[in-house]
Amino acid sequence: MSRLNFIGLSALALLGLALLPGRAVSQQKLLKDQLVGSWTLMSATQMTKDGVKSDRWGPNPKGRAIFEADGRYTFMIFRSDVPKFASDNMNQVTAEESKAAVQGMTANYGTWSIDEATKTLTTNIEASSSPNLTGGTQKRIITSLSADELKYTNPASQIGTVDDVVWKRTK
């Protein structure tokens, strides 16, 4: 092999090596891209300012979060232990039954975005089962995100707790 060919091949190899890190970085998906899809609630624990842990959603909570690629989302969580209404007629539900149902669920929808640098998920709430949230925003810090699992912290929940929530990707 001539000296000129050797220098040319060496330069080409060095150029290829120099481009590898850029390629590896470009192949990593953004958090936004990884979050798109449907998620099923696995657990949600709350911590009060006094350090007391609780589970507002009770044993075996049910929930779904859907993040669409176009920036739209829907979100809902339900307690699994809310008693059924005595009547099938919604106009005959008692005040106690209504209170248990309302306190045992949350649902909202709107738009979402991700701040990649701070790993912050922001939801802009267009409508909510809690009227006080409608028109507002919520922020959650993503602590872990894999192909199958999403973990985040809500540092300022509506009831004044810090919430740690785990979701599993819906297959």
% the chain with pLDDT above 90:
72
The span from the CA of 33 to the CA of 4, in Å, is 45
Quote the pLDDT of residue 26.
Answer: 45
Average pLDDT over residues 82-104: 94
The span from the CA of 169 to the CA of 89, in Å, is 35
Query: 163 and 153 in contact (C-beta within 8 Å)?
Result: yes
Q: How much is the pTM? A: 0.79
CA atoms within 13 A on the CB side of 78: 9
The span from the CA of 35 to the CA of 32, in Å, is 5
Q: Choose the most confident range, by mean pLDDT, from 26-35, 40-49, 108-117.
A: 108-117
List 113's β-bridge partners, or say none.
122
pLDDT band at 159 (very low <50, low <70, confident <90, very high): confident
Q: 7-11, 92-96, 151-155, 167-171: which has the minimum mean pLDDT?
A: 7-11
Bigger pLDDT: 75 or 19?
Answer: 75
Query: 106 and 76 in contact (C-beta within 8 Å)?
Result: yes
